[in-house]
Structure 1
């Protein structure tokens, strides 16, 4: 045999060996995939059996867990959801109508799956072992979610009768943020939610929904958005050493509405830093003072955004702008909240500021808005902080105060001051 014949034979042998090896690898790969699918199918079946063995369907919730078999990790995803009479599937069974059964879907994936492989899926429905909805009473379903849409576990849900009805012990939400109140007597109730260091959209640590009607044989569903509070530390008047009103509120404006919180202080306090718990992941515009629209106590002047751009005496002023923030979950932030300041010299018994009419085009407040500052000693000067707007300074008997001065763009005519948030355009 010549050298060329030997080389050709070796080349042919190499090709045949490669094809055989490739076939073996492919067979082994197919066998492994088939084996993994078989294990996954067994795990899915076992998960359904676990679900069917649950004696309390309210304790059967969605769950994710991992199982290792012969060195391979399998991810088991169980989705459990109530189905109502209307065939709706919604969180906490709140799709409408009475609860009928629970639908359970199981999906199993494993490490090393090829992109062409599909996960193993299995599903079942589980009927309650006893009737859930008593025809002589009603059911209340409550869903509590956070700002990201996830259920809030271990929140306390309370049901308080306001008309007829009967007392009920509070219940806790499950891992999916669901609370189920069964066999509720006919009547009208207020439903509230509470959890330490949590807050609702209205900055209420215990948000409520009133006038929830419960009828015999029917289901009432409601939901709350409730999250772990973020913290705002507000430095009023930018942290200046000033005296605040004893009855100064702070206002938070967001896409969810307007919330005003009282900020109490003593008559001689110069501590202007305040800490407020707010709902996270919400854009807030913050300013000092009351704020009302169509409430019988119209008051827009404290909001810097209510002051439009203007030119006065040939000087251009930019529109006002209140601080805006967006806090992350569990976050904290220090924010300077500007206010107007006024110097008052001389003895005043019970200094007060009452909202007064402003210049044409300026935002105003109803005259029912009054801020109290306590006494000012003789021969002394006190710097007070006020929300933006026009204010008349008097003593507790309504006598005009003298010795009033302001600075910057603010104006004072006798005892009437206008505190303007706008700045000169450079």
Structure 2
């Protein structure tokens, strides 16, 4: 019996199979191998798909260049923009074709639209097809070619006008209409309006008779870097056999809502009838706007503007004529710890109109002066011999501001920062001794600064100098 039991036990042990641990290990090994195999198969499929997509993209780019080579006129070949890029779908894969062009002139120089004083030779074209891979990664291929005109661009006796328009970002401004008119007596002839600018900001007028022309560019809501709604060059000279190049910087205007710092504890100060408002940008310099506009349309410089009351002219603009006093940031001489703070730059995004609630406040100095009933006007004249802490206004001629509609008694007026002679006058703008009197000389004790003060040369205080001028000082203690 014991022998039978022992034999049965040995058979049961032999038939027991794998343990649970061995089964789990085997399953894990199988899973790792399966994952690796699946990844390899998937990766091979994606690589195959990308290779097929790349070949398709190359074929699309090649077809585009073949089509362009069949065109007799290279001027019909234009750089694309977002709305003119061509979509394709091949085998459930979406593609987009874009194109950039550059002219190469007779001197071998290349530029988007051509070069002044030379002759266009041939056009360099790059066709780019882009798509997204199965992994979502953006991919693209590009092909280049050169295309020369089949005949002379200009007849022997004519020239061409090449127009380039750049936006505030420095890239081509597409879709801008351009007009070209012959100047009276300039020897030119009528010119057919060229096509609107392409994706590189280029357009062309060909076979133009020699003479002088005015070239203009404009579009609704547009503005150029000199703050003109119509970009214009009135002295474009065309010679036989060569090209005249014209470049504009033009974009959609930014509209500022403007308010003037005329409030004081007792009310609102009166503004000059002929104030100049300055928008200053480090690249474009000073732009002047007459009067006190509540909205200003300006070129959208990317680093924005400082807004000031008065005609601010920076020394960086060249020459010796400057008027720095309107900019508080130029009052760099500290007195009693006070120093001028430059106006904060305000953003100027292209095509944006600030809502009425977002106003740019133009800081100003405020002073109260006595008014005689027989002298109903005030004339303020800038003083170039300003005190040392005032950066001064050394313009070729003094700045003159006038005030009207003043009642007898006290009048509170707002002026740009700086040093001023104040005259009470019988006639608007007059400073003649026969019908005016210097207020500082005749009534200096009655001139006050309504926001407080009393310390000479300190922040925001009125300063009486040499008995004939007042200084409106913007300096503050940081």
CA distance in 2, matches of 1:393, 1:116: 70
Answering whether residue 179 of structure 2 is matched by residue 152 of structure 1, we say no
Corresponding residue number in structure 1 for 2:382: 355
**2:64 paired residue among 23, 33, 47:** 47
For the Cα contact (< 8 Å) 1:84–1:95, is it kept in 2? no
**Which residue of 385, 388, 406 maps to 2:449?**
406
Aligned residues: 411
Aligned to 1:373: 403
Equivalent pair of 2:50/2:133 in contact (CA under 8 Å): no
How far off its partner does 1:223 sit?
A: 1.6
1:235 to 222, 244, 259: 259
Tell me by how many angstroms 1:370 deviates. Answer: 0.8
Answering whether residue 328 of structure 2 is matched by residue 304 of structure 1, we say: yes
- Secondary structure of the 1:310 match is coil
Superposition map of 1:204-215 within 5 A: 204-215=228-239
Contact persistence 2:113–2:164 (CA under 8 A) = yes
**Structure 1 position 118, deviation (Å):** 8.0
* TM-score, normalisation: structure 2: 0.74
Q: CA deviation at 1:387?
A: 0.8
Q: What residue number does 2:4 align with?
A: none
Instruction: Flag structure 1 segments of 5+ consecutive residues without an equivalent.
Output: 265-271
Cα distance, 1:146 vs structure 2: 0.8
Q: Residue 36 of structure 1: SS of its match in structure 2? A: helix
- CA–CA distance in structure 2, aligned partners of residues 284 and 20 of structure 1: 62
Whichever structure has more strand as a proportion of its residues is 1
**In the alignment, is the contact (CA less than 8 A) between 2:117 and 2:242 conserved in 1?**
no
Deviations 1:224-262 (A, max 9, x none): 221111122222225662221111111222222433423
Cα distance in structure 1, aligned partners of 2:202 and 2:368: 55
Deviation at 1:422, TM superposition (A): 0.7
| 2:280 match: secondary structure | strand
What runs of 5+ residues in structure 2 fail to find an aligned partner? 1-14, 428-434, 454-460
Match of 2:368 in 1: 343
1:90 corresponding residue in structure 2:
111
Contact kept, 8 Å, 1:40 with 1:108, in 2: the verdict is yes
- In the TM superposition, 1:170-209 aligns within 5 A as 170-176=193-199, 177-209=201-233
CA root-mean-square deviation: 3.7
Per-residue CA distance 1:87-118 (angstroms, 9 max, x = gap) = 33321234873222323332334432679998
Is the CA contact (8 Å cut-off) linking 1:201 and 1:256 kept in structure 2?
no
Aligned residue for 1:418?
471
Could you say which residue in structure 1 is the equivalent of 2:12?
none
Name the residue aligned to 1:286.
307
Q: Secondary structure at the match of 1:305?
A: helix
The structure that has the greater radius of gyration is 2
Q: CA deviation digits over 1:36-68, x for unaligned, max 9?
A: 344334323332233234455323223333211
CA distance in 2 between partners of 1:86 and 1:233 (Å): 49
Deviations 1:244-302 (A, max 9, x none): 111111122222243342333xxxxxxx6621111211332221112345768643222
Task: Give yes or no for the alignment of 1:249 onto 2:276.
Answer: yes
Give 2:121's aligned residue.
100
Tell me the residue number matched to 2:152: 131
Higher mean alpha-carbon deviation, 321-330 vs 278-287, is at 321-330
Distance 1:321 1:122 in 2: 51
In structure 2, the partner of 1:275 is 295
- Alpha-carbon distance in structure 1 between the residues aligned to 2:151 and 2:367: 71
